């Protein structure tokens, strides 16, 4: 800092502490600037569908910056020849999602290159992955496009796995089939990412680690080696299909194959309808959460973070049946009432502590209140709570609606919280927005939101408030064709997605181990688990084991919990209520067969619908269940279930009565990896105690159903399945 500037700061008084304190950040901060898009539906700053690089959704002109502890800034993309001010064209860019390597010497990020060079010209644009090195002061920056990534697909939100391979979000179809692109979400039938992918850049090996029906977002690798991410859970029937007149033109394709054709059928089979049918005794089901999820680094073990669920985090939801007085509506405890958890980061000073944003689905560009949750692997979800680090009385959701008074404790909206290695925190922040509707025009946008990176500190009530800017503001004048309208903007760009540039300890590589009850079954049936896994991988299969599906977590009184296997085990609670017989477990797979827009001229892409399990070789490998509904296996006398399922396919299930009537339904899609052996203790697994009177801990029985399946496999009664599966799948 030169002498004149230092003297000016001293004259400004309060500004002195601001600048000096900002310079005291322990490490450089890598971040992006972004064109301030006013539009907030599936645009780059939106909660969902934010992955696309088209010019109307991801305006051009942003850059990748690094801010050093002395306050100096470096524009890394401009330094390496990417991007420009003024009229945007072939070299223009938008940048997002930087993540730093474990050694702190390089970073990976997403960038889209190019804009229409003249009016009315349509230009296909894709976010692709790039790596930057030369981050230290005095070094020369080098940016290289990552080799062997999916081309002509949007690849965003990258992170380094422990082995150096790259984890990222992509909209690549699950099986790569071009005719299924793009996958459409379960809400508005808008394009969505398909899940989390892993790439080995050196050899091009690409695999789908986690399959998402409506989208997964912002993955990180935590200090325990777990992949933590936000997933959109929307397992409900298609709301676009509710209109009896079919105003959205929904229809089902004949299948997922390239030769499939539109049909007049609009049937849906799972879960129950969104609107209850009078006289049926069944309440309607809607579900819409952006919750924290986790997987191991090999893609196994997909579940909500520590198995936390709606009963620990969320607000009101109804019971499934309205003709059983023992079933009750869920009213949340005062401690939690979480809407969504977005943009998660782990606190480097407190392993297992995660901060994120609780924001509404629309209107605020995924900004809201900063929240905190402690969830190391040892933490039981029944004890997990959400701490709000900003005032909670409507502050995160004030949207500037005309006539809506500003809450007295409103502190603005926050995005991208980043706990620093010295215990402090920074975040993108915008002060009070102007009234909704005052965003300028399409050609001359004037965004209500002005996200700037700021250091936060405790203010009134101990809540975090912004105390200083990290930059003096980064202004740019740009214009681009969108494509018929010339968009012009001259002003501050948003500052988003900060990350500390520092070396970190490489976390262990996590994978799922065989649990004791299941290992015991393998031992008793003299089956080698590794040989069995090899068979599963060769056939694209996983194994699902449920130890006792009559047991449920004691908090869940919204679905039937007095359950009995006819002639076998039962689990009941005091207080009365109906006793439900369950005899079959019916599985469903997510097929990308729902079209929209009309069969004659459908919109590009397809939504997933639940269909009865039918993929081979899984259906051929499983024990036949002639007395049950299609796609089902029998529930054994001890309440156990074991079956082969297709890997990398979205799956859901429900238990049924002996006649096939649904009883207890799964509320989430789950996917499995080839070779995965996944076991749970019951149906809605137990956190601490089950629903029985008196309660008992999670089931640890060695599954009768698993032993029977292993014995069948051991005796080579299914050798022919290997060949049959290869021929038919």
For 516, phi then psi, to 5°, come to -60, -45
pLDDT band at 705 (very low <50, low <70, confident <90, very high): very high
| Of 532, 541, 565, 515, residue with least CA distance to 711 | 532
pLDDT tens digit sequence for 466-493:
999 999 999 999 999 999 999 999 999 9
Q: How many residues does the chain have?
A: 729
This model's pTM is above 0.85? yes
What was the pLDDT predicted at 248? 96
Within 8 A by CB and 6+ apart from 369, the residues are 357, 358, 359, 388, 389, 390, 391, 392, 395, 396, 414
Q: How confident is the model at residue 21 (pLDDT cuts 50, 70, 90)?
A: very low
- Spell out the residues 6+ positions from residue 255 whose beta carbon is closer than 8 angstroms to its own: 591, 593
Mean pLDDT for the stretch of residues 347-357: 98
Can you give the residue ranges of every domain in the chain? 22-232+326-500, 516-728
CB neighbours of 98 closer than 8 A, spacing ≥ 6?
30, 31, 32, 64, 107, 108, 109, 497, 499
pLDDT beyond 80 at 393: no
Q: Shortest CA distance to 521 belongs to which of 680, 707, 679?
A: 707
Least confident of 81-90, 571-580, 590-599: 571-580
Tell me how crowded residue 467 is: count the other CB atoms within 10 A of its CB.
16
Q: What percent of the chain has a predicted confidence (pLDDT) above 70?
A: 93
**In this structure, are residues 498 and 30 in contact, taking their beta carbons and an 8 Å threshold?**
yes
pLDDT score recorded for residue 717: 52
pLDDT at position 605 is: 97
| Confidence (pLDDT) at 395 | 52
Structure tokens belonging to residue 305: 């973070």
State residue 1's pLDDT score.
Answer: 35
pLDDT of residue 18: 35
CA distances from 430 to 326, 401, 427, 522, 563 (A): 47, 16, 10, 57, 51
Determine the average pLDDT of the residues in 707-721.
79
pLDDT digits (tens, 9 = 90+) for 318-338: 999 999 999 999 987 766 678
Average pLDDT for 701-720: 86
Summary mean pLDDT of the chain = 92
Residue whose pair of structure tokens reads 């669920």 in the numeric block: 309
Assign domain 22-232+326-500 one CATH number from 1.10.3470, 1.20.120, 2.130.10, 1.20.1530.
2.130.10
Given the DSSP bridges, would you call strands 86-87 and 475-481 parallel, antiparallel or unpaired? parallel
Average pLDDT over residues 430-439: 76
pLDDT at 726: 43
Which tokens sit at 484?
């018929």
Higher pLDDT, 623 or 293: 293
Separation CA 32–CA 62 (nearest Å): 7
Give backbone dihedrals phi and psi of 52, rounded to 5 degrees, phi first: -85, 150
* Cβ-Cβ contacts under 8 Å for 246 (sequence gap 6 or more): 266
Residues 44-92: tens digit of each pLDDT: 999 999 999 999 999 999 999 999 999 999 999 999 999 999 999 999 9
**Residues 526-548, mean pLDDT to the nearest whole number:** 96
CA 620 to chain centroid: 32
Look up tokens 């990552």; give the residue. Answer: 146
For residue 117, is pLDDT > 70? yes
Section 540-569 average pLDDT: 96
**Quick one: DSSP state of residue 181?**
P
């Amino acid at each position: 800092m030169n002498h004149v500037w230092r003297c000016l700061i001293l004259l400004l008084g309060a500004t002195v502490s601001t600048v000096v304190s900002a310079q005291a950040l322990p490490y450089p901060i890598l971040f992006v600037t972004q064109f301030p898009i006013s539009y907030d539906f599936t645009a780059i700053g939106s909660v969902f569908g934010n992955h696309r690089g088209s010019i109307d959704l991801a305006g051009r002109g942003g850059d990748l910056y690094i801010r050093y502890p002395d306050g100096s800034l470096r524009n890394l993309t401009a330094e390496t020849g990417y991007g420009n001010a003024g009229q945007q064209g072939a070299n223009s860019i938008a940048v997002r999602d930087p993540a730093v390597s474990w050694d702190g010497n390089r970073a990976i990020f997403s960038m889209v290159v190019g804009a229409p060079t003249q009016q009315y010209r349509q230009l296909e644009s894709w976010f692709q992955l790039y790596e930057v090195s030369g981050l230290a002061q005095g070094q020369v920056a080098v940016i290289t496009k990552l080799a062997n990534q999916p081309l002509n697909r949007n690849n965003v939100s990258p992170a380094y796995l422990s082995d150096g391979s790259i984890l990222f979000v992509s909209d690549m179809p699950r099986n790569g089939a071009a005719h299924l692109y793009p996958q459409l979400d379960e809400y508005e039938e808008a394009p969505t990412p398909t899940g989390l992918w892993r790439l080995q850049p050196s050899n091009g090996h690409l695999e789908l680690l986690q399959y998402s029906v409506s989208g997964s977002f912002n993955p990180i690798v935590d200090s325990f080696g777990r992949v933590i991410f936000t997933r959109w859970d929307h397992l409900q029937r298609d709301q676009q299909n509710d209109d009896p007149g079919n105003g959205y033109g929904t229809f089902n394709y004949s299948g997922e194959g390239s030769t499939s054709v539109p049909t007049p059928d609009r049937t849906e089979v799972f879960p129950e309808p969104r609107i209850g049918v009078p006289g049926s005794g069944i309440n309607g089901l809607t579900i819409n959460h952006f919750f924290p999820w986790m997987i191991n680094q090999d893609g196994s073990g997909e579940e909500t973070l520590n198995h936390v669920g709606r009963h620990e985090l969320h607000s009101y939801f109804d019971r499934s049946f309205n003709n059983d007085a023992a079933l009750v509506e869920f009213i949340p405890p005062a401690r939690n009432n979480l809407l969504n958890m977005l943009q998660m980061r782990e606190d480097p000073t407190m392993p297992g502590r995660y901060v994120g944003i609780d924001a509404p689905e629309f209107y605020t560009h995924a900004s809201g209140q900063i929240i905190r949750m402690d969830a190391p692997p040892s933490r039981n979800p029944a004890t997990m709570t959400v701490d709000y680090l900003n005032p909670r009385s409507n502050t995160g959701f004030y949207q500037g609606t005309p006539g809506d008074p500003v809450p007295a404790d409103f502190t603005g909206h926050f995005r991208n919280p980043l706990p620093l290695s010295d215990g402090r925190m920074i975040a993108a922040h915008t002060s009070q927005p102007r009234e909704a509707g005052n965003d300028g025009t399409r050609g001359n946008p004037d965004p209500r939101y002005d996200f700037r990176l700021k250091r936060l500190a405790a203010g009134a009530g101990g809540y975090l408030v912004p105390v200083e800017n990290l930059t003096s503001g980064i202004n740019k004048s740009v214009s681009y064709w969108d494509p018929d309208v010339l968009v012009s903007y001259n002003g501050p760009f948003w500052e988003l997605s900060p990350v500390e540039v520092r070396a970190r300890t490489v976390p262990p590589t996590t994978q799922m181990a065989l649990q004791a009850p299941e290992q015991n079954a393998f031992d008793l049936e003299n089956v080698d688990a590794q040989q069995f896994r090899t068979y599963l991988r060769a056939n694209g299969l996983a194994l699902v084991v449920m130890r006792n599906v009559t047991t449920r977590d004691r908090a869940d009184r919204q679905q039937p919990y007095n359950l009995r296997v006819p002639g076998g085990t039962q689990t009941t609670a005091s207080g009365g209520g109906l006793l439900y017989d369950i005899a079959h477990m019916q599985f469903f797979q997510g097929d990308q067969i729902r079209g929209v827009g009309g069969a004659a001229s459908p919109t590009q892409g397809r939504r997933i619908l639940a269909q009865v399990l039918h993929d081979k070789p899984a259906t051929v490998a499983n024990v036949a269940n002639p007395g049950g509904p299609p796609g089902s296996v029998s529930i054994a006398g001890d309440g156990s279930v074991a079956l082969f399922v297709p890997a990398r396919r979205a799956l859901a299930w429900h238990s049924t009565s002996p006649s096939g009537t649904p009883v207890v339904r799964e509320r989430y899609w789950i996917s499995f990896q080839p070779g995965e052996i996944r076991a749970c203790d019951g149906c809605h697994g137990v956190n601490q105690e089950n629903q029985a009177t008196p309660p008992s801990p999670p089931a640890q029985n060695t599954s009768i159903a698993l032993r029977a399946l292993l014995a069948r496999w051991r005796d080579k009664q299914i050798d022919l399945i290997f060949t049959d599966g290869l021929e038919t799948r």
